[in-house]
Structure 1
Amino acid sequence: MLRSCIRRGTLRSISVRRLNPAIQFASHAFSTATTQERVPLRKQLKQEAKSLRSHKKQRKEDEEASRQEWELTVGVEIHAQLDTEAKLFSRAATSTSDIPNSNVALFDLAFPGSQPEFQIATLLPALRAAIALNCEIQPVSRFDRKHYFYQDQPSGYQITQYYEPFARNGYVDLYNYDGIAPEDGDRLRIDIKQLQLEQDTAKSQEYPPTTQLLDFNRVSHPLIEIITMPQIHTPATAAACVRKLQSIVQSCGAVTTGMELGGLRVDVNVSVRRRDAAAGQHHYNGISGLGQRTEIKNLSSFKAVEDAIIAEKNRQITVLESGGVIEGETRGWTIGSTETRRLRGKEGDVDYRYMPDPDIPPLIIGQDLLANLNSTLPTSPDSLITLLVGAEHRLSIDDAKPLIELDDGARLEYYHDVVETLHTLQADQDSTSRAGLGRSVGNWVLHELGGLLTKSDRAWDAEIVPAQSLAHLIDQLQRKRITGPTAKLVLATIFDGDRRPVSQILEEENLLLRPLSRDEYVALAQSVMALNPQMIEQIRSKNQLGKLGWFVGQMMRTGEKGRVEAPKAEEILRELILGSTV
């Protein structure tokens, strides 16, 4: 419409009401400014920034007020694709990246006469997840049919475990370092009602306006569904719970990929009720007195979980405060939206017509299998954090968490390789000298090497800077044979492809530290100070000690490359400027 009007020269005839609201606002502001008085742009920007801050403050106050009057309750359901080679009830491969409809068995298409063949190997990653989530493994479990008619499910039902799942009564502990809301304290335990095995559906691809294609490669891909109890009362904690559950099932090798690649999908059940009102009659997973819940389907990121819950909570409060009633329904969420949208009425147990599947025998799990899996389960994320922040490694929480989470554990493995090599190189040093090696390695792996990866936009690869090279570099730095800037320079050189040994680079490039004498430090400091007498006076009269760092930088720049050590330079500067080495 707009393009055709431009061609016809009739742009002025377009009604402002039909333009984007932002354009309408800008047009009004321009008109007002031209007819009344012109507001300087800088002043206008300041006014807008002030208005935005005021709006954010008001929103925060409203959020706090609503939290005092209304209680939010959230339950989480996670569907995670298991890491298996075959599908749940057929021998077809589970690869979803192959040509569409190339990994499909007759049973996947509900071909008449085809029968399900439970693939025993699919049970192993599911059991690892259940054990990692502290569940009680049921010795006998059974499969059920969940009936619904939709194009992505050719048989007209989904095979799941509704009545007798393979695992029950688990829990996950959330800590303040997991990102839970401050009002939830330092630690919170969320109970897990059950874990159940079920088959995935086909993948739908829409081509508007009327075409929809189906890829049956995903049909019968093994899933576990993790169902938590409705014990979450803040959006931030709900997102933290999903993040923690993903971290756990990834760390034990149960799943293929996380939310970012579509291997994990989340549904959330949301309800609100007045804190001082009489409890209602609704219940969910055995907890009564909750408000009427709605379900938000297929959330695909942690931010989407938090944003969708906030939007749905606000919608429900608005409806209830205006005298309306919350309907039990399924709702959707689009990233970037401010409101959830209705998809359909919420089906209940009766709608799905659950029934035991007559074609699949009971699943019997022996104690010997569980004992073996228990003994081979990897260390949990919480145990790893405890180890990394403990006396052996001394990392901060802020470093320990990303070290565990980055690159599916590959960064943590690299860190351990560097630490192990460095401890061998430092075997001749006393225990006090080696006490901080873990923290130092963590800094180089995460920040220095991580910074180079970010700047170059390269994916993680342990061979970019071999662990042995980084260990030797840190060893040279610890022994004070090179300075910090020199170490960073050599790291960048190796990162760019130089495969010479660290010792050879240092020797051939003349980078080994040749310490300056005290007289040389004094002379260098005095030459720098002579050029900036006013700054020296500010340090002395106004105690602006932060400017000492500037002088240190000047000494390192003007001094001979690789010979000026920052701590010694500062010591001399303090002595000359302040008459003290303290």
Structure 2
Amino acid sequence: MSRISTAELSRYLLTGIITRRGCLRARTPLRAGGVAVANRTFIHTAHTAATATASPTSTPAVPFRKQLKDQNKALKASGNKKKKNADNQTVPGWELTVGIEIHAQLNTSYKLFSPATTSFQDTPNRHVALFDLAVPGSQPLFQSESLIPAVRAALALGCTIQPVSRFDRKHYFHWDQPSGYQITQYYEPFARRGRVTLYPRDGIAAADGDRIDIEIERVQLEQDTAKTTAMPGNVHWLDFNRVGVPLIEIITKPQIHHPATAAALVRKIQMLLASVDACVSGMEAGGLRADINVSVRRVADDGSPMGPLGTRTEIKNLSSFKAVEDAIIAERDRQIAVLEAGGVVEGETRGWSLGSTETRRLRGKEGEVDYRYMPDPDLGPLVISNNLVSRLAGSMGVLPDEEINDLVDTYGLSTKDAMSLVTLDDGARVQYFYNVLDAMEERLGLGSNSEPASEQRHAQLAANWCLHELGKLTELSSDLAMTPEGECRVPSSELAAILAHLHRKEITAKVAKELLWAVFRGEIAPNGVTQAIESGNLWFQELSEEEYAELADRVVQGEDKVLSEFLRFKQGKAKAYPQGKLMFLVGKMMRAGVEQRMDPSSAERVMRARLESVYLPAIEAS
């Protein structure tokens, strides 16, 4: 097409007025004051508004949920049942190799090369500077505050910070990139040579053993593109608020050989970035995206590879951990099928949709020549002083692996609960746990190291409530509004008060849960938990040992068959203690007694003692 004049280009970029001539067409010219551009509708060159919306014979859009249901029905009807991912990590005779590129939005107030603010929830096209839209004559101005989260992220990944790095232009033309190029760091990135260690608790494949180290090749700064929202009828809406938002691109070496391990690595990197407050949000909110490079090659019977790595394909913009694993499995199987049929795997870029069973071709794979990388002439070198790196390294705090180990070893938490505390609410949940624990120990007169981990019952109680009972509040109600300081709608001091009474067995678990709901709804005044128990006469008045024993004697009447199971174990005729039968009897006790006066652990203890000292000797004597 003919060259667009500067005046025409300015009208397009600043006011949204698009000429009817040329390759872009708009339904209605929309205007906005100043540099910000109003909500605009862009139609790709191949599809005009008339074609997209006016055709009476066009097929109506099928809702996505219905598409997924139809796919599942077709899969069931075909009789091809999908394997579970855990059983689909390897294919005999083939080796999978995966490398990952992760793009993470940095936690900054301003864009990378303009003073426009970063915004993800505001009205579209309201935070756009001249440079973001590539207005002729505008120049990039590096915002130095972007360095802080970028360097913290690189340090968390174990990288070496380069004292001098440079910016380059990566050329490509697409509607989401107004300038026709992206500023990145191709030749000299700011960080190199990192390492991430994965353990079974991170979700790696069983074949990877007790740990696997994945090397980070480089971490580079770059700009984000505009946000494209696909609409029915091949219409695409663009939001330029995201143009120029600071990103880091994390590139791993191709060392992953199992889909589950690839998903575990992305999850671990997200957790590391959140722990140092480097990333805006995770995959679920669009703040982190993964591109996966996949190749396969044959292996001999002894597992040794036959030949060099196969041709790789890239799967773009995966936005969930499950999508990472599913897409790798689908692409691996596709490449193997192509090679076994005598075909050739082409180097290309492929896409993946939620609920899919196979990847789809997007375009041929670009190479370095296609992007025409060149040093950016408008930006000087980026110099990072050792003093800055040392200060940031010294303020990193405890990283997730160390904190998880501490929660398990010091407080006796399960690995699953420890990981949940560290990952929930971008690390704020574990801070809330510490706040609750400190206040609880003060009330109980305990020290955090006064008992071995196996005896830290109060810590385990606090973790259980911080995870599970607090989680139940949000199932039927609004968000907890957890703050980075570890406080929420249920103040840590109030939960500590409830748990201290529960730990001393001064209230029942049922009463504790009712008090938690009351605090959540704001029905109890600050520091008023004990007063609420007193005024409601909610104190736990437990049965005596004699009353428990009398209740146990009553419920075992007529349970000769159940008692015989315990006798068989005592005589060595059964290998395992009949715990299920014991809990059956305890359940009968709980139902027969007054709930407000009974503790399940006390009931179990008394029933176990009566079995050994009274009921079984009586059966043997008879």
Shorter-chain TM-score tier: 0.7 to 0.9
Give the aligned partner of residue 478 of structure 1: 503
In the alignment, the residues of structure 1 paired with residue 144 and residue 446 of structure 2 have an alpha-carbon distance, to the nearest angstrom, of: 52
Letter in 1 for 2:424: L
Greater shift after overlay, 96-105 or 451-460?
A: 451-460
SS in 2 for 1:290: coil
Equivalences for 1:253-402 in 2 at 5 Å?
Answer: 253-276=277-300, 279-280=306-307, 289-391=308-410, 393-402=411-420
- Note the C-alpha offset of 1:294: 0.3
Give the aligned partner of residue 270 of structure 2: 246
Go from structure 1 to structure 2 and tell me whether the alpha carbon gap of 1:382 and 1:151 turns closer, same or farther (over 3 Å shift).
same
Q: State the aligned residue count.
A: 524
Kept in 2, the 8 Å contact 1:574–1:580? The answer is no
Give the aligned partner of residue 469 of structure 2: 448
Equivalences for 1:21-420 in 2 at 5 Å?
Answer: 55=81, 63=88, 67-276=91-300, 279-280=306-307, 289-391=308-410, 393-420=411-438
Go from structure 1 to structure 2 and tell me whether the alpha carbon gap of 1:376 and 1:468 turns closer, same or farther (over 3 Å shift).
same
In the alignment, the residues of structure 2 paired with residue 238 and residue 174 of structure 1 have an alpha-carbon distance, to the nearest angstrom, of: 10
In the alignment, the residues of structure 2 paired with residue 21 and residue 418 of structure 1 have an alpha-carbon distance, to the nearest angstrom, of: 47
Percentage identity across paired residues of the two chains: 53
Go from structure 1 to structure 2 and tell me whether the alpha carbon gap of 1:88 and 1:487 turns closer, same or farther (over 3 Å shift).
same
SS in 2 for 1:121: helix
In the alignment, the residues of structure 2 paired with residue 264 and residue 181 of structure 1 have an alpha-carbon distance, to the nearest angstrom, of: 23
- Note the C-alpha offset of 1:474: 1.8
SS in 2 for 1:67: coil
Give the aligned partner of residue 35 of structure 1: none
SS in 1 for 2:192: strand
In the alignment, the residues of structure 1 paired with residue 355 and residue 97 of structure 2 have an alpha-carbon distance, to the nearest angstrom, of: 23
- TM-score, structure 2 as length reference: 0.79
In the alignment, the residues of structure 2 paired with residue 60 and residue 554 of structure 1 have an alpha-carbon distance, to the nearest angstrom, of: 40
Kept in 1, the 8 Å contact 2:540–2:597? The answer is yes
- Note the C-alpha offset of 1:67: 2.5
Equivalent of 1:563 in 597, 617, 622: 597
Kept in 1, the 8 Å contact 2:274–2:427? The answer is no
- Note the C-alpha offset of 1:574: 4.0
SS in 1 for 2:597: coil
- Note the C-alpha offset of 1:555: 3.3
Kept in 2, the 8 Å contact 1:575–1:581? The answer is no
Kept in 2, the 8 Å contact 1:147–1:353? The answer is yes
Go from structure 1 to structure 2 and tell me whether the alpha carbon gap of 1:205 and 1:57 turns closer, same or farther (over 3 Å shift).
closer
List gaps (5 residues or longer) in structure 1.
Answer: 1-19, 30-47, 281-288
Kept in 1, the 8 Å contact 2:480–2:488? The answer is no
SS in 1 for 2:425: helix
In the alignment, the residues of structure 2 paired with residue 112 and residue 497 of structure 1 have an alpha-carbon distance, to the nearest angstrom, of: 56
Kept in 1, the 8 Å contact 2:95–2:305? The answer is no
Kept in 1, the 8 Å contact 2:524–2:532? The answer is no
In the alignment, the residues of structure 1 paired with residue 543 and residue 232 of structure 2 have an alpha-carbon distance, to the nearest angstrom, of: 73
SS in 2 for 1:227: strand
In the alignment, the residues of structure 1 paired with residue 501 and residue 237 of structure 2 have an alpha-carbon distance, to the nearest angstrom, of: 60
Go from structure 1 to structure 2 and tell me whether the alpha carbon gap of 1:382 and 1:572 turns closer, same or farther (over 3 Å shift).
closer
Go from structure 1 to structure 2 and tell me whether the alpha carbon gap of 1:21 and 1:236 turns closer, same or farther (over 3 Å shift).
closer
- Note the C-alpha offset of 1:229: 0.3
Kept in 2, the 8 Å contact 1:418–1:468? The answer is yes
Equivalences for 1:424-439 in 2 at 5 Å?
Answer: 424-427=442-445, 431-432=450-451, 435-439=456-460
Go from structure 1 to structure 2 and tell me whether the alpha carbon gap of 1:59 and 1:188 turns closer, same or farther (over 3 Å shift).
closer
SS in 2 for 1:369: helix
SS in 2 for 1:323: coil
Give the aligned partner of residue 64 of structure 2: none
Give the aligned partner of residue 586 of structure 2: 552
Kept in 2, the 8 Å contact 1:555–1:564? The answer is no
SS in 1 for 2:169: strand
List gaps (5 residues or longer) in structure 2.
Answer: 1-69, 567-577, 617-622
Go from structure 1 to structure 2 and tell me whether the alpha carbon gap of 1:516 and 1:256 turns closer, same or farther (over 3 Å shift).
same
- Note the C-alpha offset of 1:438: 1.7
Q: Deviations over 1:353-382 (max 9, x none)?
A: 111111100001111111111111132111
In the alignment, the residues of structure 1 paired with residue 537 and residue 591 of structure 2 have an alpha-carbon distance, to the nearest angstrom, of: 17
- Note the C-alpha offset of 1:106: 1.1
Letter in 2 for 1:553: G
Go from structure 1 to structure 2 and tell me whether the alpha carbon gap of 1:428 and 1:350 turns closer, same or farther (over 3 Å shift).
closer
SS in 2 for 1:562: helix
Give the aligned partner of residue 509 of structure 1: 536
In the alignment, the residues of structure 2 paired with residue 506 and residue 23 of structure 1 have an alpha-carbon distance, to the nearest angstrom, of: 54
Kept in 2, the 8 Å contact 1:83–1:254? The answer is yes
Give the aligned partner of residue 9 of structure 2: none
Give the aligned partner of residue 36 of structure 1: none
In the alignment, the residues of structure 1 paired with residue 239 and residue 346 of structure 2 have an alpha-carbon distance, to the nearest angstrom, of: 34
Kept in 2, the 8 Å contact 1:204–1:212? The answer is yes
Greater shift after overlay, 572-581 or 316-325?
A: 572-581
